[in-house]
Amino acid sequence: MLRVDNLTKSYGGVKVTRGVSLDFPTGSITAMIGPNGAGKTTFFNLISGHVRPDAGRIVFDDQDIVGLSSLEIVRRGMARAFQVATLFPSLTVREALAAAVISHRGHSWQVLSRFPLQSARARVDELLDLMGLISAADTLSSILSHGDQKLLDIGLALAMNPKMLLLDEPTAGMGPDERWRMIEKVRSLWEKQRITVLFIEHDMDIVFKIAQTIHVLKYGAVLAQGTPDEIRGNDEVIEAYLGTDQRLSEAVGEV
Amino acid sequence: MNLEALAACLTSASCAVTQISTALIVGTLLFLVAAGLSLIFGVLGVINFAHGSFYMLGAYFAFTAYKLTGSFIVALVAGSLGAGIFGVLFERLIISRVYGRDLLMQLLVCYALTLILDDGVKLVYGAEYRMMGMPAAFAVAPVQIAGAFVPGYYLFMVGIAVATGLLLWLAINRTLLGKTIRALAINPQMVGVLGVNTAALYAGVFGVGSLLAGMAGALAAPIRTLTPGIGFSFLIESFIVTVIGGMGSIAGAFLAALLIGFIRAFGAIGFPWFVEGLMFAIMALVLVVKPTGLLGREAA
Amino acid sequence: MRSRLRRDIVVGLILFFVLFFLPTLFPKPALRDFLIYVIAYGLLAMSLNLLIGLTGLVAFGHAAFFASGAYTFALLMQSGRTSIPLAMLAAIVGTTVLALVIGAICVRLKNIYFSFITLAFQMFLHSVILTWVSMTGGDQGLQGGIPRPVFFGIDLNNARTLYSFCVVTFVLCLAIMRQVSESPFGYTLRMIRDNPERANFLGVNVVRMKLGVFVLSGAMASVGGIVLALFVSGAYPEFGFWTTSGEAIFMLMLGGTQLFLGPLAGALLLEALNHYITIYTEYHGMVLGVVILVIVLGLRRGIADSLFAYVTRRRRGRRIDDVKRPILQPTKNEPA
């Protein structure tokens, strides 16, 4: 679905992404991990068209997308949820989802009918159900709980019917129970909707349980990639990121 | 449009000098007002739509002080300080409550002050024209340059404005206080955490900004008639100057003010109704090509 | 959702009947005149709110389209070759084109730079009006009045007929603006107001949408100009001066930007204030200034918005207006 070749980006002399080459097969669920500042969010910005790479190729769904605007990339099927949920404060959950669906279907310019469009209603209900937001449907986005905000964030991305979903720290800022619920939701979405998922995470338990493949970034370059078992046993990764605490390894092994 | 008259003036040395001197004094007055505006915006992030009122206050205070004491120096000081004090009061009592609120609220609050002050002045001084007249110290024979007569007072004005501009630039770029103020513009929370009294600094900067406008008003008092509402035209033009020169840049304000001064002076001969049009056209051009202005920085 | 449309229609009809029959109940010509001013400036303010309140585009130069509508209409009528409906249509279309040209340049800039460049264009237009004396009469305005030939049996020389015509035009424009505001387009604009970057990530072409609403609001503003020109039988450069834009912004803030009819309430309030204050004192600026300070520092938002928030809070806690709607980032900003 997505292939990245030798992606490079510098900001004023600092190389934040160095020659990253990665492959994301269709229908896979991949995690990207690494210490802070490793360039994970920059990677997201590069592939979603928010930032232009200095060099390298990005092929999404068999199309070269370097140089395309983020708008065009979204239209081609890549959707994104953010580390800090950025929403529309004055719209309710239902309204925000409806607006997103309407935008996806190209009806944003409609002036002759009333919002929300009858045709969008079914899809909105579907999304509400999918994300578990039915009870919060008529709440203003700005007063949602943190967890619900992140769910809405993902819901908005899903409204785009994406082929690939980018999730930037979906469990950030949540307590342990909420985390598992969230990541379970992500996993069931992945299974049911059959989309390619790439998520950034810091919670290793979650990463090892859910991801099929893990890519490890450090200082902008790929340190290692592989299945959870491979990564767990990789010395370099342990040294750079995971730590050599025996208890951590055991706990992770148990899960 | 009278472009032949313009051409004729440009080729005549005496006419050219006269117009240049007009351009310079308009430019210096504008510079002082715009510098204050730019400072306030650069540090406080407030677009002070009431700035013209401080110009007006400076003129009226200078007028009163001169009538009372007969001394121009006292008048100049009174005008500047008076406006500065009003500025500090306005900042503490009203502006500080709208920091961080949206632009329209700030606009409204400043406009409200302008309305109140304009009528306040009308109440105290009456709506008729007042003239301060040239102070005795400057009632000397005008200087002759290239066949044109340039009043000595003009030279004095330009001198004061340039000196003030330099002083301001030095203060901001070469002193510790200036550095603190620049830091304040970039990250006020951090400066506050470092133990600096940010509220006092804010008030101080606003006071200096309005003082500059008041100084311009005081300097203009001998050569212009005083009526409530003289602040308005200066307000709009100082915005043009700030946009063209760059918000937050003193040097930019200087250049842009001179430019506008020249357009006013020569435009009055060549295209009197279109002077504003030209100024706004340049402003639009700058906004499209380099929105931060000729010498402006990217938003701090 | 159906009920919203029904409710809007009811409100619209009530507004229409009240405006239409008010002069019949109180037959003072002064009232009629007052209401026509409210209609003209109300259209200016309501159209501006499509930009400010709905999309978050703070335009300082909106009066340009008010003036353009007035002058175009007046000039066409003075030429003696068109009927009133045709001249109106032409003026609206002409202003739409103007708004398209100006908007295409302005809409690419953000925040305060957008505000200033709209002002620059407006004042430039104002200068053109002042300079082109042969066409516009310069600073004196258009002389000679505007003929009002009968059309479709309607004689606008009759004051009552003129008033009714203005009311009908007004309510029609309000209906159009309401429909746009409640349409998918309107909600997409709200998305842009709240979070343009995210809207972009959801496939919205932000620049094009901004241009669209800019053009529409320009067209609506021109209708206000036409009404005023028709009524005062002339057109004056003040229509395009920055103080007119300023008054419109006033009305928005006084009345409130989040409730649809807020700006109209603001227009009514400001016109009433202007009218009554000048009767009682010559220091009307001071009174107005104090009123503004009270509203801004005390209420913190427009009057209609405050009333609405108060009423809603007493009912249920869910759809409160206390949400901070970022109309404009308050401090320094980057350009486009």
Q: What is the pLDDT of residues B118-131, one digit of tens each?
A: 888 888 887 777 77
Q: Inform me whether the C-beta atom of residue A94 falls under 8 Å from chain C C-beta atoms.
A: no
Contact B109 C139 (CB under 8 A): no
Q: Inform me whether the C-beta atom of residue C131 falls under 8 Å from chain B C-beta atoms.
A: yes
Band the pLDDT of C35: cuts 50, 70, 90: very high
Helix, strand, or coil here: C39?
helix
Contact B97 C297 (CB under 8 A): yes
Please give the pLDDT value at position C321. Answer: 43
Closest partner residue to C187 among A74, A75, A99, by Cβ?
Answer: A99
Find the radius of gyration of the CA atoms of chain C.
20
Q: Inform me whether the C-beta atom of residue A75 falls under 8 Å from chain C C-beta atoms.
A: yes
Residues in contact with A134: Cβ distance below 8 Å, sequence separation at least 6, in sequence order: A128
Q: What are the tens digits of pLDDT across the range A66-81? A: 888 888 888 888 888 8
pLDDT higher than 80, residue C282: no
The nearest CA of chain C is from the CA of A140 a distance in Å of 7
pLDDT higher than 50, residue C322: no
Report C:51-70 residues touching B (Cβ under 8 A): 52, 58
Contact C330 B274 (CB under 8 A): no
Range of A7-21, C195-209, C311-325 with top mean pLDDT: C195-209
Band the pLDDT of A252: cuts 50, 70, 90: low
Short-list C86, C64, C131, C107, CA closest to C212? C107
Closest partner residue to C187 among A79, A95, A112, by Cβ?
Answer: A95
Helix then strand then coil, % of chain C, to nearest 5: 75, 0, 25
Residues of chain C contacting A166 with CB distance shorter than 8 Å: none
Higher pLDDT, B269 or C263: C263
The nearest CA of chain B is from the CA of C313 a distance in Å of 22
Q: Inform me whether the C-beta atom of residue C283 falls under 8 Å from chain B C-beta atoms.
A: yes
The nearest CA of chain A is from the CA of C173 a distance in Å of 14
Question: Are the C-beta atoms of A198 and A165 separated by less than 8 Å?
Answer: yes
Band the pLDDT of C314: cuts 50, 70, 90: low
- In terms of CA atoms, which chain A residue is nearest residue C8? A114
User: What CA–CA distance (Å, rounded) separates C45 from C37?
Assistant: 12
User: What CA–CA distance (Å, rounded) separates B31 from B45?
Assistant: 19
Q: Inform me whether the C-beta atom of residue C130 falls under 8 Å from chain B C-beta atoms.
A: yes
Structure tokens at C177: 């603006």
Structure tokens at A229: 């078992």
- Give the Cα-Cα-Cα angle B154, B156, B161 (nearest 5 degrees): 100
Contact A117 C197 (CB under 8 A): no
Which residues in chain B show pLDDT less than 70? 1, 136-137, 139-140, 146-147, 297-300
Closest partner residue to B104 among C253, C283, C333, by Cβ?
Answer: C253
Chains near C with 3+ CB pairs less than 8 A apart are A, B
- In terms of CA atoms, which chain C residue is nearest residue B111? C289
- Give the Cα-Cα-Cα angle A137, A143, A148 (nearest 5 degrees): 55
Sign of the CA dihedral running B283, B287, B290, B291: positive
Please give the pLDDT value at position C331. Answer: 34
Band the pLDDT of C318: cuts 50, 70, 90: very low
Residue type, C181: S
- Give the Cα-Cα-Cα angle A36, A39, A40 (nearest 5 degrees): 85
Contact C205 A71 (CB under 8 A): yes
- Give the Cα-Cα-Cα angle C65, C68, C69 (nearest 5 degrees): 90
The nearest CA of chain B is from the CA of C290 a distance in Å of 7
Q: What are the tens digits of pLDDT across the range B213-254? A: 999 999 888 888 888 778 877 888 888 998 898 877 888 889
Q: Inform me whether the C-beta atom of residue C140 falls under 8 Å from chain B C-beta atoms.
A: no
Residues of chain C contacting A156 with CB distance shorter than 8 Å: 198, 202
- In terms of CA atoms, which chain B residue is nearest residue C290? B112
Q: Inform me whether the C-beta atom of residue A103 falls under 8 Å from chain C C-beta atoms.
A: yes
The nearest CA of chain B is from the CA of C14 a distance in Å of 32
Closest partner residue to B45 among C253, C288, C330, by Cβ?
Answer: C330
Contact A114 C183 (CB under 8 A): yes
User: What CA–CA distance (Å, rounded) separates A215 from A224?
Assistant: 6
Least confident window among A158-172, C38-52, C201-215? A158-172
Q: What are the tens digits of pLDDT across the range A218-234? A: 887 887 888 888 877 77
Closest partner residue to B112 among C119, C293, C334, by Cβ?
Answer: C293
Contact B98 C293 (CB under 8 A): no
- In terms of CA atoms, which chain B residue is nearest residue C251? B108
Environment class of C259 (CB within 10 Å of its CB; exposed 0-12, middle 13-18, buried 19+): buried
Q: How many CB atoms lie within 10 A of CB B132?
A: 23
Please give the pLDDT value at position C328. Answer: 39
- In terms of CA atoms, which chain C residue is nearest residue B278? C124
User: What CA–CA distance (Å, rounded) separates A36 from A169?
Assistant: 12
Residues of chain C contacting B120 with CB distance shorter than 8 Å: 286
Evaluate whether chains C and A are touching (3 or more beta carbon pairs less than 8 Å apart): yes
* Mean pLDDT in residue range C218-233: 95
Measured between alpha carbons, how far apart are the two ends of chain C, in Å?
37
Least confident window among A143-147, A158-162, C210-214, C303-307? C303-307
pLDDT higher than 60, residue C327: no
Structure tokens at B284: 């639009």
User: What CA–CA distance (Å, rounded) separates B112 from C60?
Assistant: 17
Closest partner residue to B273 among C130, C290, C296, by Cβ?
Answer: C130
Q: Inform me whether the C-beta atom of residue A99 falls under 8 Å from chain C C-beta atoms.
A: yes
Contact C184 A159 (CB under 8 A): no
Band the pLDDT of C333: cuts 50, 70, 90: very low
